[in-house]
Amino acid sequence: MAKLKPTLAKGTRDFSPIVMEKRNYIFNTIKTVFKKYGYSEIQTPSFENLDTLTGKYGEEGDQLIFKILNSGDYLSKISKDQLSTISSKALTPIISEKALRYDLTVPFARYVVMHQNEITYPFKRYQIQPVWRADRPQRGRYREFYQCDADVVGSDSLLNEAEFIAIYFEVLQKLGLKDFNIKINNRKVLAGIADVLDRSDLLIEMTVAIDKLDKIGVNGVKKELIERGFTDNNVEKLSPILESSGDIDDQLNLLKSFLGESVIGKKGIEEIEEVISYVGVLDSQILEKLQLDITLARGLNYYTGTILEVKTNEVVMGSIGGGGRYDDLTGMFGLAGLTGVGISFGADRIYDVLEELNLFPEDTEEGTKILISNFDSAAERYALPILQRLRAQGIAVEIYPTAAKLKKQMSYAHTKNIPFVILVGEEEMQKGVYTLKDMKSGDQQQFTESELLKYFGEQ
Amino acid sequence: MAKLKPTLAKGTRDFSPIVMEKRNYIFNTIKTVFKKYGYSEIQTPSFENLDTLTGKYGEEGDQLIFKILNSGDYLSKISKDQLSTISSKALTPIISEKALRYDLTVPFARYVVMHQNEITYPFKRYQIQPVWRADRPQRGRYREFYQCDADVVGSDSLLNEAEFIAIYFEVLQKLGLKDFNIKINNRKVLAGIADVLDRSDLLIEMTVAIDKLDKIGVNGVKKELIERGFTDNNVEKLSPILESSGDIDDQLNLLKSFLGESVIGKKGIEEIEEVISYVGVLDSQILEKLQLDITLARGLNYYTGTILEVKTNEVVMGSIGGGGRYDDLTGMFGLAGLTGVGISFGADRIYDVLEELNLFPEDTEEGTKILISNFDSAAERYALPILQRLRAQGIAVEIYPTAAKLKKQMSYAHTKNIPFVILVGEEEMQKGVYTLKDMKSGDQQQFTESELLKYFGEQ
């Protein structure tokens, strides 16, 4: 066996105990809320047949899919002659028939089509699993990362959208975020704007440009619109949209006057109004966080109705969540006309936000609650029964497994953030008690067994 | 986009909501116990550098590792000439530098070596993640499956072994299993037996043969021993070991007389006795489940001390867990002399056992607790506030998102195993009440809002 100095594969991460606790805190918070809103968990395999994934993410996306080499003598399917002239791209489908999932959406679509006869609609599912992308790794961008998605398919009710907004609100509040916004827009409003300009042919060009408003400003967008084929006249007419501000009512009034009689535009406004009305009935507090952002687009080709995005204002950070309604999730697998709406949480970004704002609860880092010290064999035997009795109460307790120096044992407790240490020595054994040390305050106190069990209570 | 009928990649599975709930029930039970014993969770990436994994699982294992094709123009690293003569096996390391993890042990060893300076020993970690093997799929054998491992490294105290036995006991009891055995043996006892026969050179041959006792019986083992190089005399001398039965004391007595003055054999007996003594002090009930199985080996090359295995007697099934002590986990990565002991649970097999014995708690399958029916727009608006108030109490509640036929809504509740439906119609709205239907008994009762909130209480 070669003794190599091991490294991580590029763009991947180990998660150590404290990081895991924090990640689980985020995932559990999200899961708890998803469940409360009636969403059920599913999981799909890490790899799919290659042809399930290819062609779904565009040319660029296809290149970022990790392909798995066939097992065995994979070159047997190709002649030596062919091999000497073939390109990597042409060889790939011959020597690889499986690939790691690139997102959770396409596998979910595949799942829905394969299980369509056993699914009861509306089907509300959530899925929290890693995905893999052969992206160039950089700060905050990894080749393996988790996606947290919830979708409901088979229901066109806009109440679903309102409930997703409530889910965002509840999760972010639970995580301790205070200043955040949930932005809403509607693809039909964007289509209406292009319609009014009489440039429906340039809808995608338009949204690609105005989606950049945050980054390049109004003048940048105007310049880009010209580059993308719009006339000066178009751009001037668009100005009020690009420069729009104010609360939801102001924005709606602007839109109503701008969109005039555009049928699709009016439909978009109606949908936004209905979602907002539902949100107000569910919980009017949420309205304070809700913003209408006429320039929000998010992967326009995919969404057909509501578009959602979540941003925190407490930290400089891209969106920490987003989603929207689509009308043809499963068409790619031959099941047409299934409407749905979904959202996702950016768990890695949320992690960074909570870390920066110091919002992880103190006990997140606490694994074991009590360490029982180990002086010698007699003290160890004296302590084992209380160890099990505390555990029977649901408390995480460890005994240091050997009679090491006390300093070493205390340092172990300290490094592992263990808040209490039980000390057992000659005196304790004679008196039939246990000394409990509070690691934070340094206080020590003697307890009988029953006092100790009572002190920590049933967990 | 091609409209293909999608399929799952061979040997993989989708997990639908009910199956996920049951799987999570098993994982959560195991995690809760791991944590109570002071084990912390870590996670490692799904793929590792190829050279981290190759050479660790033997020739056969290496072939079962899923390799990931390099991204981009992966053939650029090899000339056309070379390509026309190369074998698949020789090509693999040129076009693949990453591979999916095959187990959790090697990545854990890599983790320990890379994080050695930040780890506090003894390091107690658990890890529950999928692994991938390019095995031929068959009933109960998948290409993607979860492993549940807990290990402590950096402590040679046999108290660790005893605590693992207690963990097995507690998890299986919590899962509702009644008739199971935790088998213990020690590699040093096996070495002692070979020592006494004066055939230490054949230790591995011996254990491979006697490890099959369950499958091929005493005569089968004897035949195999002869085939593997033992003399008739050796086999005759081994007879009492192969035919041994009785309780732990009987077996220990047999071993003591058989092993006589063998130094390693005596050491093995001592270790077994110490583990058993610890178990007795931790919880004497566990001793009823503990069996000394002199023929237990489990991957002998790996284990150096205690060997553990768990079997249920209620269902015909292979072992549902196993583990042992090893003295050189990290030597393969250049960090020598780190001792450790670990166990794992076979989650898929445990799933099948619980399913066959009908041991999943009834509420495992219950996701949403209450469905609020949706008669019309007015009833919907009337119901939304109570929907949110129930959720605020931590209860999983859904409202049917459209005013579909009641029959359809009830069938939705039924299929999703939702135990309660709240009915809101003309009468309820006039009276300011809600009708609660118990789906199991069929009983209906009217509640005011506060009565309803009280009925379901804080969850």
Q: What is the DSSP string of B144-196?
A: EEEEEEEEEES---THHHHHHHHHHHHHHHHTT--SEEEEEEEHHHHHHHHHH
B386 in the same domain as B352: no
Nearest to B292 by CA among B324, B250, B257: B250
B187 in the same domain as B154: yes
Nearest to A107 by CA among A57, A45, A41, A181: A45
Q: Please tell me the predicted confidence (pLDDT) of residue B5.
A: 80
Q: Is residue B169 part of a domain?
A: yes
**Once rounded to an integer, what is the mean pLDDT over residues A174-183?**
97
Contact state of A7 with B402 under an 8 Å Cβ cutoff: no
Q: Please tell me the predicted confidence (pLDDT) of residue A363.
A: 82
Is some CB atom of chain A closer than 8 A to the CB atom of B454?
A: no
A403 in the same domain as A261: no
Q: Is residue A406 part of a domain?
A: yes
Residue B146 has pLDDT above 80, yes or no: yes
Q: Please tell me the predicted confidence (pLDDT) of residue A4.
A: 61
Q: Please tell me the predicted confidence (pLDDT) of residue A24.
A: 96
**Once rounded to an integer, what is the mean pLDDT over residues B130-150?**
94
A251 in the same domain as A129: yes
Q: Please tell me the predicted confidence (pLDDT) of residue A3.
A: 54
A316 in the same domain as A410: no
List the CATH number of the domain containing B158: 3.30.930.10
Both tokens of A72, joined, read 């065995």
Both tokens of B252, joined, read 């220990």
Is some CB atom of chain B closer than 8 A to the CB atom of A186?
A: no
pLDDT band at A134 (very low <50, low <70, confident <90, very high): very high
Nearest residue of chain A to residue B416 (CA atoms): A120
Residue A166 has pLDDT above 80, yes or no: yes
Q: Is A459 annotated as a binding residue?
A: no
Residue A366 has pLDDT above 80, yes or no: no
Q: Please tell me the predicted confidence (pLDDT) of residue B222.
A: 95
B413 in the same domain as B344: no
Q: Please tell me the predicted confidence (pLDDT) of residue A199.
A: 94
The domain tally of chain A equals 2
- Residue of A126, A398, A424 for testing the chain B interface, max B β-carbons within 10 Å: A398
Report pLDDT digits (tens) over A189-240. Answer: 999 999 999 999 999 999 989 988 988 999 999 999 999 999 999 999 999 9
Is some CB atom of chain A closer than 8 A to the CB atom of B66?
A: yes
Q: Is residue A165 part of a domain?
A: yes
A388 in the same domain as A331: no
Report pLDDT digits (tens) over B62-73. Answer: 999 999 999 999
**How much is the mean pLDDT over chain A?**
94
A405 in the same domain as A332: no
Q: Please tell me the predicted confidence (pLDDT) of residue A1.
A: 46
Q: Is residue B1 part of a domain?
A: no
Domain limits for position B417 = 367-457
Residue window 286-305, chain A: list those with CB within 8 Å of chain B.
none
Report pLDDT digits (tens) over B412-458. Answer: 999 999 999 999 999 999 999 999 999 999 999 999 999 999 999 87
A2: closest CA of chain B, how far (Å): 7
Minimum-distance CB partner of B45 among A81, A144, A152:
A144
Neighbours of B310 (CB within 10 A): 25
Phi-psi region for residue B176, left (φ > 0), alpha (ψ -120 to 50) or beta?
Answer: left
Between A84 and A124, name the one with better pLDDT: A124
Domain stop point among A294, A321, A356:
A356
List the CATH number of the domain containing B436: 3.40.50.800
B250 in the same domain as B176: yes
Q: Is residue B321 part of a domain?
A: yes
Nearest residue of chain B to residue A98 (CA atoms): B9
What is the interface size between A and B, counted as CB pairs within 8 Å? 299
**Once rounded to an integer, what is the mean pLDDT over residues B356-379?**
92
Q: Which residue has the tokens 């069990």?
A: A453
Q: Is residue A71 part of a domain?
A: no
- Residue of A8, A63, A85 for testing the chain B interface, max B β-carbons within 10 Å: A8
Nearest residue of chain B to residue A2 (CA atoms): B332
B416 in the same domain as B321: no
Domain stop point among B356, B379, B408:
B356
**Once rounded to an integer, what is the mean pLDDT over residues B227-235?**
95
What is the Cα–Cα distance from B99 to B268, expressed in whole angstroms? 38
Minimum-distance CB partner of B396 among A15, A38, A387:
A38
B285 in the same domain as B394: no
B144: closest CA of chain A, how far (Å): 7
Nearest to B197 by CA among B234, B222, B239: B234
> Which residues on chain A are in Cβ contact (under 8 Å) with B36?
391, 394-397
Residue B301 has pLDDT above 80, yes or no: no
Nearest to B64 by CA among B130, B129, B137, B15: B137
Q: Is residue A59 part of a domain?
A: no
Is some CB atom of chain B closer than 8 A to the CB atom of A129?
A: no
**How much is the mean pLDDT over chain B?**
94
Q: Please tell me the predicted confidence (pLDDT) of residue B344.
A: 97
Is some CB atom of chain B closer than 8 A to the CB atom of A134?
A: yes
Is some CB atom of chain B closer than 8 A to the CB atom of A459?
A: no
What is the Cα–Cα distance from A212 to A194, expressed in whole angstroms? 17
B265: closest CA of chain A, how far (Å): 24
B351 in the same domain as B282: yes
Residues B398, A38: contact at Cβ < 8 Å?
yes
> Which residues on chain B are in Cβ contact (under 8 Å) with A83?
83-84
Q: Please tell me the predicted confidence (pLDDT) of residue B140.
A: 81
Between A110 and B80, name the one with better pLDDT: A110
Query: What element of type H or E holds B95?
Result: helix B88-95
**What global pTM score does this model have?**
0.95
Q: Please tell me the predicted confidence (pLDDT) of residue B306.
A: 97
A192: closest CA of chain B, how far (Å): 27
Residue B361 has pLDDT above 90, yes or no: yes
Q: Is residue B167 part of a domain?
A: yes
SS3 A336: coil
What is the Cα–Cα distance from B128 to B148, expressed in whole angstroms? 4
Report pLDDT digits (tens) over A289-316. Answer: 999 999 998 865 789 999 999 999 999 9
Domain stop point among A356, A391, A413:
A356
Nearest to A397 by CA among A374, A420, A429, A423: A420
